Amino acid sequence: MSSIDMKQFHAVFFEESQEHLEEMEQHLLEVDLQHPDAELLNSIFRAAHSIKGGSGIFGFDALASVTHIMESLLDKIRQGKLPVTAEYIDLFLSSVDQLKAILHCYRVGSDLDWAGVHTITKKLELVTAGQNSQPEETDGSYGFFTEVEAVTQSEDYGFFDTEVDDGFGFFDEVVPAESIGAAPASAVNSDLHNFIDDLLPGDSNAQSPVETPLIPVSAKSNEAASENKIKSKASEAISVESSSIRVDVAKVDQLINLVGEIVITQSMMNLLGKSFDGALGEKFQAVANELERNTREIQEAVMSIRMLPVSFVFNRFPRVVRDLSAKLGKKIDLIIEGGETELDKGLTEKLVDPLTHLVRNSIDHGIEPADVRQACGKNPTGTVTLKAAQQGGSIVISISDDGGGLSRERILRKAREKSIPISDNPSDAEVWQLIFAPGFSTADQVTDVSGRGVGMDVVRRNVQALGGRIDIESEAGKGSVITIRLPLTLAIVDGMCVSVGDQTFIIPLVNIVESMQPKECEIKTLAGDDQLLLVRDEYWPILPLYKAMQLEPQFTEAHKGIAVLIEANKHHFALFVDALVGQQQVVIKSLEHHYKRVQGVAGATIMGDGSVALILDVESLAAKTPEIPLSLAS
């Protein structure tokens, strides 16, 4: 029994430590060497301290030992006994990496890299020992009033460092509500004594001179106005702490599932209500409408639980850019915009790899070396911009750089070398698409950063697996923009309902170009049974859905039904169905959960009447049609 309980605590500890490490890394990158921000250093220290505390309790010795040394060194720095230097920051960053590795080992239960642990401990020890200051006790032994002195001594000490030591716990325990409001106001250490007086036990809240309301959590801005930064950071840290709970994702998913059921039941009830007549029927309708509104709101609220700000993904990139630019000897500014845009948790996790790849590409291939940039009359420091924004039902993430842009000639040359089929006079857009071909790389030299050409096709596949699209725009000498368009959530898809025989199918709307009733003269029959549809001088192969799904259709001749023009991957085809039923948002349900994967089917959903409709997987359907490049056909 007890071992199970410990395991539960372990999971929480791992989660929290991971967060602390990420926070530490982020703060380390923010540290301004000229004007180190005390609150920032404190946060770093706090994070190290929390990890140390937890790992001590659970007996994760490697974590504890590394964080312990880090903590002592950090303590000296934050007390101003040591200067903040780039070397220290680098050392701390590599320590964070090592800690992450250790944490991972503990988490998956694999063997620790003790050699790595010892190296980093040695390094930290050397640095610590190199400074001839006496060791300091950091835990708990401080009395309250000595700490007050310490606070008053150091100029820009934030008030909040007192909460660092578990031994005090004084302020938070007394009046937490007040200390939240008070923190920003006390950033400057005027009136510090008054302030502390106010916090003494027995003092009522009303007497406090700082009745400041809670400072709203400000989005992490990159502005360097240090005064503001301290304030927003302090209030942010606290309000996040007090207002969030940790919930198992499975519970949230179950909730989403159940709400989906309510929505379906509700729409069934609505249908039923329409058959009631008279005054009672009207009343029923009014109530049903009210219920509909409420369920919709519940659904939105529940879906929003799974939403995370994109900054969860973006925040790792300052580090990536810092390391890479140092390695490649390029100067690069990273600008992050729209980090507060929210995205489904499942999506954010799967975005990390493709985005990392694209950012690395931008830095390695996109941004030119500083001397080249200067020769072109550009700012020697390159700029990479990561941007996220919501546009209707989708999230658009773009990675842009002000580098050299894609080289049309080089891509075409490479394509010919690899004998990738290309038309005689391809448009720019078609040329850019070529870099998504497997094994394609235009980098003159293969580096350990990029250039092996395994990347872009994987990136595109990952994005498509998320139901998204990826586009490239590029201009020689000006730079390129790569845009990823993703659905808001994984659980819901905007779809077009079509019918074949007595069954309904859903086609994801993103793949639909247009729908039309073809004329008999527009349909050309090829050898065999294959048919082509001529739309505005382009031939689209026709795929009858009834054949793919083995059904008895209403119509077998394409001109009697509807042709839905579909674009998927590199394929274009016209899906021939009986009729269009309507456009609808549907909740994606897994077929594999109780059955298995079915070719041509991405999943299933439950319609308003409770019946099951299959969601088509256009990618795999596309594989059934002959590939005819549009340009060749015309």
Partner 1 sequence: MIEPAGVLQDNQEFLTFTLGEENYALDILTVKEIRGYERPTKIANAPPFIKGVINLRGDIVPIVDLRIKFSVGQATYDEFTIVIVLHIHNRIVGMVVDGVSDVVSLAKEQLRPPPDFGVAFNSRYLLGLATINEQMIILVDINELISSDELGLFDKPSEADASV
Residues that bind partner 1 (CB under 8 A): 257-258, 260-261, 264, 503, 548-551, 589-601, 604, 606, 610-614
* Long-range pairs of 465-471 with CB within 8 A, sequence gap ≥ 24: 465/350, 466/347, 466/350, 466/351, 466/490, 467/493, 467/508, 467/510, 468/394, 469/510, 470/436
To partner 1, the closest distance from the beta carbon of 613 in angstroms equals 7
CB-side neighbour CA atoms (13 Å) of 15: 10
Give the CA-trace dihedral at 450, 454, 460, 461, to 10 degrees: -140
Are 544 and 624 in contact by the 8 Å Cβ rule? The answer is no
- Kindly write down the DSSP assignment for every residue of 57-120, as one continuous string: HHT-HHHHHHHHHHHHHHHHHHTTSS---HHHHHHHHHHHHHHHHHHHHHHHTPPP-HHHHHHH
- Kindly write down the DSSP assignment for every residue of 577-607, as one continuous string: ESEEEEEEEEE-B-STTTS---TTEEEEEE-
Tell me the residue type at 457: D
Alpha-helix runs per DSSP H in 154-189: 170-174, 176-185
Are 384 and 400 in contact by the 8 Å Cβ rule? The answer is yes
Q: Could you give the CA distance from residue 334 to residue 299 in angstroms, rounded to a whole number?
A: 37
Question: How many CB atoms are closer than 10 A to CB 163?
Answer: 19
Are 195 and 182 in contact by the 8 Å Cβ rule? The answer is yes
Instruction: Give the residue among 4, 13, 24 at the shortest CA–CA distance from 103.
Output: 13
Question: How many CB atoms are closer than 10 A to CB 482?
Answer: 24
332-337/342-344 β-pairing: unpaired
Q: Could you give the CA distance from residue 15 to residue 247 in angstroms, rounded to a whole number?
A: 12
Token digits for 437?
A: 């071909």
Q: Could you give the CA distance from residue 68 to residue 51 in angstroms, rounded to a whole number?
A: 9
Between helix 61-78 and helix 114-130 the angle, nearest 10°, is 20
